[in-house]
Chains A and B, each alone.
Chain A
Amino acid sequence: MELFKRKSFLFLFLILVLSSVARLYRLDSIPGSLYTDEANQGYNAFSLLITGKDEHGYNFPVTLRSFGDWKPPLQSWLMIPFVVIFGLSETSVRLPSAILGTASVYLLYLLVVMLFPGSKAGNKMALIAAWSISVSPWHILQSRSAMLVGIALFFVLFSVIFFLKGVKKNHNIFWSFIFFGISLYAYYGLRVFVPLLILLLMVIYRQIFLAKPRLLLMPMVAICLAVAPLFLGFLTNQDVIFGRARTISVFYDQGVKLRQWELITQDRDAPPVLARFFHNKAYLYFRQISSNFFSHFDGRYLFLKGDTVTPFQIPGMGLLYLTDGFFLITGIVLLAVRFGSGQKKFLFGWLIISLIPASLTFMVPSSNRTFTAIVPLTALIAAGLSIIRDKKTVIAVSAIYIFLIGYFFRQYFISLNSSHSDWWNYGWREAVSETSRIGSKYENIIVADFNGMPYIYFLFYNRYDAGLYQRQAARTYVADRFGFEHVEGFGKYLFPENLDWQQVKRSPLKNSLYILPANLSDDAGYLYEVKDPRGKPLYRFYDF
């Protein structure tokens, strides 16, 4: 037993080394550029550090208004120490995610050990789960970017571990709920997921709370303490809680309403009661939401193509390895047949709950909004893998996994940058750098606002004075059709939306530098051109 413990410690150590390398290696340059949201959070961390306010001038915000998408602020707050140490850079923006992502590997190990306590099989399963998540394409992708969910998962795992500890030593439940509360500041989707997860845990471990009802007091105090700032923020502005939900929810999308109108119009001869019976919103929304929910079980999404939203894509890969599919099914059968009802309810319940936030939004399936599903999925894959005992099978399965992991590393660490740099908005760092070099000559620098939110890159890479920006920023706060609020300009920078290049050429602003996407500008007469790693033109500079 002692030997096994020592061996398992060694394996765990090696797994953690592997996960650190996979998450920290060339973190600044793979993915090749900061995505708009990453740059925004980085600059807000910088702004909070310098002025104590976010880019909009809100003091110590509980939600970052950001592009009008009201981002939870925890990631930006966590970046601040790294911005102090490394300055405002790609590394300081991505490090919190990478570090907490690596820590999550260990936390998952602990969680599986606690779920299947006191058995050698449980320990083996925990080690396999840690290994599986350490090489998971889905987890590595999210840990190497500041897209909120990496740190959110860490806090959820932390909370659940404290809860499970609290089953024996009750005072831990207080800390569990404090961390649950903190996690609400990490990712928007957790504001749906966490209450449901708490409910699930309460139902599974209801005997403890029924035996000692006073134990409920601790969670209530803890959650009130943690949620109080958010609630106070909500009292001053409802968007603090509902801002993001408004624009991404299925109820904001007009598709269902238009469909209902179309069907009722076709039924115009029928009695209105009958038309309502067949074409009511409740049924149409139910179909939409349940379809969104089940879309996350599509094999093409899980194993072949992954998320279709670009920053969350890995070229030619799904979220899981192809072989994971087989072991996932084995794990599900094993869990259904062999394990206890508490473990079943916990893992299946978590899986179902983690898909609910994304089901209420459009643009599904979504790997980002369902990231917490990685915990039950990995545990189930580990359960499936843990039944392999035959040495030859172990060697064969290991060989297949080594091949698949090698393929993933190639796709992520090489192909992503060389062939798909546009997925991460490549080119803005180079454009800002060139603008800084030549920009002093011009009265105006006009950047066409076509590709994301270019203003944030000019703030980020120029380390633009945060206090000055808060005074200079020109915004209308009018949301576009996706709910995003654009910046009109600051200082000598202007960011016009839908810039008409033909019109500009006829009557340009004098002594101005224009920066446009290459596909919307002329192939000749430009001053400078930013190209992607394959030499394809991205942005062109023109002066008048």
Chain B
Amino acid sequence: MTFKIALNLILAQSSILRFWHLESIPPQTENTLLEGRLLSAATGVLMTLVVFYFSRMLRINRKPSLLAAWVYSIIPQAIEQGRIYSPIQLLTFLLFLSGIIITKYFLKKNNTKLYFTLATLVFSVIPLYWWIKYPPLLPVDSILNNLFILLSPDLLFYRNITFWWGGLREFGIMYLFFLPFIILGLLKAFPGKRFLLFILLWILVFSAFSPAFPESREIFLAVPLWSVLTGTGLFYSFQARNIYVKTVATGSTLFLLYEYSQLIHYYFRHYPLIISGNLDKIHGAF
């Protein structure tokens, strides 16, 4: 019962963050598709649920899965992409949802090898599209450069470079105080960790190959995975008996909540002002 209430509260929070003043924040441009925004917001909210089930699919317990869903609901890039018309938000939703459905209803048994093969197959199909559309592959140094941008603390925690596609310049893809929990998630052994890291790495490499980097925003595909990793880290940090880990976890959580409040304030108060001054520079549906 408590669990259901918690999940519903997370969904309610996710809905508020995505639907509240959707028609005016961010301000509409002449190309804005309000229906598109609504679709993004709806899939954004549903994605919170998908993240929970994805985490459960990896055989992670209910509590860390719930935390993963909560993390997804508040992660800056997920909020940003959920409030504009974002094809990558829709793609992420469809991809993860089909992943869960295929696994749950068509593949009855837990077969790690099969998961790996399927994941490779799915993520290999999308780059093929580039091979058709852009025959010359990017030079190696550009690919490396893109890869390092994707892994850079600057993009992850401080500055989202996709400003013209809904990103906030003042915040990264995620909060800085996710970092201790991500590290703990990486150090701690949990079910499906290898699979999770494999897919994460694959998405990073795959995004780096994109000729339309960074506006194509394939990196958004990694957000649910970061959420699961952070949620698991959060869970284990409060399970730890070590006093130092507990202190760091408590401090980080408090700062995380402060950062979260900063994001909400900035997004709903300052971001519209900045966008209003740049409406002519924003192309596409937004």
- Report the nearest A residue to B258, measured CB to CB: A283
Tell me whether B187 and A336 are in contact (CB under 8 A).
Answer: yes
Which A281-304 residues sit within 8 Å CB-CB of chain B?
283, 287, 290-291, 294-295, 297-300, 303-304
Q: 20 new A-B pairs (CB below 8 Å) besides A278-B265, A303-B148? A: A266-B269, A266-B270, A266-B273, A267-B269, A267-B270, A278-B266, A291-B153, A294-B153, A294-B154, A294-B158, A297-B152, A299-B151, A299-B152, A300-B145, A300-B148, A300-B152, A303-B144, A304-B141, A304-B145, A336-B187
Q: Answer yes or no: B262 CB below 8 A from chain A CBs.
A: yes
Could you tell me how many residues of chain A have their Cβ less than 8 Å away from some Cβ of chain B?
19
**Measured between alpha carbons, how far is A294 from B152 in the docked complex, in Å?**
8
Tell me whether B152 and A298 are in contact (CB under 8 A).
Answer: yes
Question: Which residues of chain B have C-beta atoms less than 8 A from A267's C-beta?
Answer: 269-270
Cβ contacts A to B, 25 pairs, < 8 Å? A266-B270, A267-B270, A270-B269, A278-B261, A278-B262, A283-B258, A287-B176, A290-B176, A291-B158, A294-B153, A294-B154, A295-B154, A297-B152, A297-B153, A298-B152, A299-B144, A299-B152, A300-B145, A300-B148, A303-B144, A303-B148, A304-B144, A304-B145, A304-B148, A336-B187
Q: Tell me if B's interface is mostly helix, strand, loop or mixed.
A: helix
Q: Mark B185-211, 1 if CB is under 8 A from A, else 0.
A: 001000000000000000000000000
Tell me whether A298 and B144 are in contact (CB under 8 A).
Answer: no
Q: Answer yes or no: A167 CB below 8 A from chain B CBs.
A: no
Question: Which residues of chain A have C-beta atoms less than 8 A from B187's C-beta?
Answer: 336
- Report the nearest A residue to B157, measured CB to CB: A294
Q: Answer yes or no: B285 CB below 8 A from chain A CBs.
A: no
Question: Which residues of chain B have C-beta atoms less than 8 A from A303's C-beta?
Answer: 144, 148
- Closest CB in chain B relative to A438 CB, distance in Å: 47
Q: Answer yes or no: B42 CB below 8 A from chain A CBs.
A: no
Question: Which residues of chain B have C-beta atoms less than 8 A from A291's C-beta?
Answer: 153-154, 157-158
Q: Answer yes or no: B147 CB below 8 A from chain A CBs.
A: yes
Q: Answer yes or no: A387 CB below 8 A from chain B CBs.
A: no
**Measured between alpha carbons, how far is A278 from B269 in the docked complex, in Å?**
11
Tell me whether B149 and A300 are in contact (CB under 8 A).
Answer: yes
| Interface residue from A278, A287, A300, A322 paired with B158 (Cβ < 8 Å) | A287
Q: Tell me if A's interface is mostly helix, strand, loop or mixed.
A: helix
**Measured between alpha carbons, how far is A322 from B262 in the docked complex, in Å?**
37
- Closest CB in chain B relative to A516 CB, distance in Å: 38
Tell me whether A283 and B262 are in contact (CB under 8 A).
Answer: yes
A-B interface pairs (CB < 8 A), number: 49
Please tell me the size bucket of the interface on B.
20 to 34
* Given A300-B148, A304-B141, A263:B270 Cβ within 8 A: yes
* Given A304-B141, A304-B144, A304-B145, A298:B270 Cβ within 8 A: no
* Given A304-B145, A336-B187, A295:B265 Cβ within 8 A: no
Residues of A within 8 A of B (CB): 263, 266-267, 270, 278, 283, 287, 290-291, 294-295, 297-300, 303-304, 322, 336
- Report the nearest A residue to B149, measured CB to CB: A300
Tell me whether A299 and B147 are in contact (CB under 8 A).
Answer: yes
Question: Which residues of chain A have C-beta atoms less than 8 A from B176's C-beta?
Answer: 287, 290
**Measured between alpha carbons, how far is A175 from B52 in the docked complex, in Å?**
59
- Report the nearest A residue to B270, measured CB to CB: A266
**Measured between alpha carbons, how far is A278 from B258 in the docked complex, in Å?**
9
Tell me whether B145 and A298 are in contact (CB under 8 A).
Answer: no
- Closest CB in chain A relative to B255 CB, distance in Å: 9
**Measured between alpha carbons, how far is A266 from B265 in the docked complex, in Å?**
12
Question: Which residues of chain B have C-beta atoms less than 8 A from A336's C-beta?
Answer: 187
Which B167-181 residues sit within 8 Å CB-CB of chain A?
176
- Closest CB in chain A relative to B275 CB, distance in Å: 13
Question: Which residues of chain A have C-beta atoms less than 8 A from B261's C-beta?
Answer: 278
- Closest CB in chain A relative to B76 CB, distance in Å: 14
- Closest CB in chain B relative to A308 CB, distance in Å: 14
Question: Which residues of chain A have C-beta atoms less than 8 A from B157's C-beta?
Answer: 291, 294
Which B60-104 residues sit within 8 Å CB-CB of chain A?
none
